[in-house]
Amino acid sequence: MSMIDMIKDKARKNVKTIVLPEGDEVRTVEASVIIKKEGLAEPILIGNAEKIAAVAKEIGVDITGVKIEDPENSAKNEEYTKQLYELRKAKGLTEEDAAKLVLDPMYYGIMMVKLGDADGLVSGAVHTTGDMLRPALQIIKTKPGMKIVSSSFLMDCPNKSLGENGLLVYADCVVVPCPTAEELASIAIAAADTAKVLCGIEEPRVALLSFSTKGSAKHELVTKVQQAVEIAHQQAPDLLLDGEMQFDAALVPEVGASKAKGSPVAGRANVLVFPDLQAGNIGYKITQRIGGADCFAVLQGLAKPCNDLSRGCSVADIVNTVACTAVQAQ
């Protein structure tokens, strides 16, 4: 069974409510019908009901039973405005601005999740990553004990000898441009958690990547990764985690054995932590485009799950991301 089929099975076992703020977007409308029909989640489309019905008619799908929330005509507006104002007044948000923001489907959806009217949110078919992330970071905030929000890419590789039967978790490829050593440690611990919760990997083996393996090169960038390893060991002493190491030392048993002898992770890592966003973002795209891996991104470290789509996403991508979000919400 593929990784995404396993995640979908898990989502069906405990159905969660997932809000889709881009409710009148064509792919989103089509995806909502599939999500409902396959029992992956209870989808809620945000937008004008007539507009959404017109889109459904145009593409020939039946949206009967799919819930719709229209911020312009919602009984919840007053409560959401009040709560949003309370949450952000210290940052200079006025009541008037809060009332305007609540009419924005992205903020309305985030408030639904914040106040427990939905379990998670998926957006990004229209909005950029930053537009989607900022309200989530400002309002949902991090999980208790979690320093930062970051992301993991679940890479399902055709070569089943890699990682966990071909499955690798890459972090961070979306959010934190230049992590400090503390932030890198936090990303590594969060990625191990994602590997467990979402991918069912019972023993995450985390490698912190670099262009150096165990001191083979000396540079401030290498020192930062070494410091991150130390911090992560202090914060999660039971986690199998090691570094710094090169990509091949992390993945290839013979290279791991020769370059990082005795490491519990080298040569058999299933979670790979990149030193910064440039490396991570380039790394996942190489694995996808040249390595032929299927990949799915999720945010980690948020108090409640919200996930981003690529603007070039397909209907299937939206369905898959909703399934991942639903499992995170469990």
CB of 21 vs ligand ACO, minimal distance in Å = 16
Q: By CB under 6 A, is residue 297 in contact with ligand ACO?
A: yes
Q: Applying CB under 6 A, which of residues 61, 113, 174, 207 lies at the interface with ligand ACO?
A: 174
Q: Applying CB under 6 A, which of residues 61, 122, 169, 175 lies at the interface with ligand ACO?
A: 175
Q: Applying CB under 6 A, which of residues 92, 145, 177, 312 lies at the interface with ligand ACO?
A: 177
| Contact (CB, 8 A) for 177 and 242 | no
Binding mask 191-230 for ligand ACO (x = CB under 6 A): ----------------------------------------
**Which region, left, alpha or beta, applies to residue 301 given φ > 0 means left and ψ of -120 to 50 means alpha?**
left
**Cβ atoms < 10 Å from Cβ of 238:** 6
User: CA angle at residue 56 from 75 to 47, to 5 degrees?
Assistant: 25
| Residue number with CB closer to ligand ACO (210 or 321) | 321
Q: What is the Cα 238 distance to its own chain's centre?
A: 24
**Token pair of 140 as six digits:** 């949902």
Distance in angstroms (rounded) separating the CA atoms of residues 308 and 306: 7
| Contact (CB, 8 A) for 187 and 275 | no
Binding mask 108-137 for ligand ACO (x = CB under 6 A): ---------------------xx--xx--x
| Residue number with CB closer to ligand ACO (129 or 223) | 129
Q: By CB under 6 A, is residue 84 in contact with ligand ACO?
A: no
Q: By CB under 6 A, is residue 176 in contact with ligand ACO?
A: yes
Tell the burial category of 24 from Cβ atoms under 10 Å away from its Cβ (0-12, 13-18, 19+). buried
Q: By CB under 6 A, is residue 83 in contact with ligand ACO?
A: no
| Residue number with CB closer to ligand ACO (148 or 265) | 148
Widest CA span in the chain: 65
Q: Which residue has the tokens 């020769």?
A: 258
| Residue number with CB closer to ligand ACO (149 or 189) | 149
What does the binding site for ligand ACO look like in residue numbers (CB under 6 A)? 91, 129-130, 133-134, 137-138, 142, 148-149, 174-177, 281, 297, 310
